[in-house]
Amino acid sequence: MPRIALLQSRAFPDQETALTHHEELIRQSAKDGAQIVVTQELFLTPYFCVVEDTDQFDLAEEIPGSSTQRLGDLATELGIVIVSSHFEKRGPGLYHNTAVVHDADGSMLGIYRKAHIPQDPGFEEKFYFTPGDTSWPVWNTRFGRLGVLVCWDQWYPEAARLMALGGAEILIYPTAIGWLPEEKDELGSAQHCAWETVQRGHAVANGCYVAAVNRIGKEADTEFWGQSFVCNPYGVIEAKGTEDQEEIILHDINLKQVEDFRRIWPFFRDRRIDAYGDILKRWNQD
């Protein structure tokens, strides 16, 4: 049973400080027996998408680059899988929100570029990120088959399904989501419930584990709500973080439960793949 570690943390004043701090968290996770370690979304920077500011593009880095090299070296040294989330500079004026997977031998297995890009007050992501074009990769790591999606992707059952069909046993969601002050009193509890519930539903519908790691702290007007969690194929939350504390959420993943669940509830067997053509339309009432 692989042990997963979710690094629920805050923003730091600069990227070097953030990376050095997370290296310490990764080492502690490995010391505590973790074999898969996951960062929150955009862990090297503040959540800069609160405003539209062209200077923020200077925060982006090439992949591979110095940060991913350090993470790969750390994965090699510790013999662990590291899933990290980065602001990628792909080319002049072309940027992505990108997850990187290093296997336990330090090799970079590949990247996933965030496909669904939100645009809301305090979450001005369409200004910064080009929609991803990596399709829905699944990586066969030393400690399990992983599918990695990013934040806003977590609301879309199609993305979770395609990664599960690609063989993912664990769906991982690096995340940066929180409350706006004008909404928290009225909608805060409902918003968090919806976020948690939809991901638990992905676990059930696909018979797999889900691990979501969110950041904490207040940045500009956004209060990130933490509460990173791991749930099993029944949607039962087996490990969960606090709302406002930096912590490492550790949990042992029973991969046998994925096969056992899918034998009892064979959703993949009973899918009507001949009948879903309309899912490719934007709207079915045109």
Q: Any idea which residues carry the catalytic annotation?
A: 41, 114, 151
Find, among 31, 154, 180, the residue nearest to 97 by Cα.
Answer: 154
Give the whole-angstrom CA distance, residue 42 versus residue 198. 22
Six token digits for residue 70: 């350090």
How far apart are the C-alpha atoms of 8 and 175, rounded to whole Å?
A: 10
Q: In the sheet that 138-141 helps form, which strands lie side by side, from edge to edge?
A: 138-141, 144-148, 170-174, 209-213, 229-231, 237-240
> Would you put residue 3 in left (φ > 0), alpha (ψ -120 to 50) or beta?
beta
Q: Where are the beta strands (DSSP E) in the chain?
A: 3-8, 36-39, 81-91, 94-102, 108-113, 138-141, 144-148, 170-174, 178-179, 209-213, 216-219, 222-225, 229-231, 237-240, 247-252
Map tokens 């929180």 to a residue: 178
Helix then strand then coil, in percent of the chain rounded to 5, is 35, 30, 35
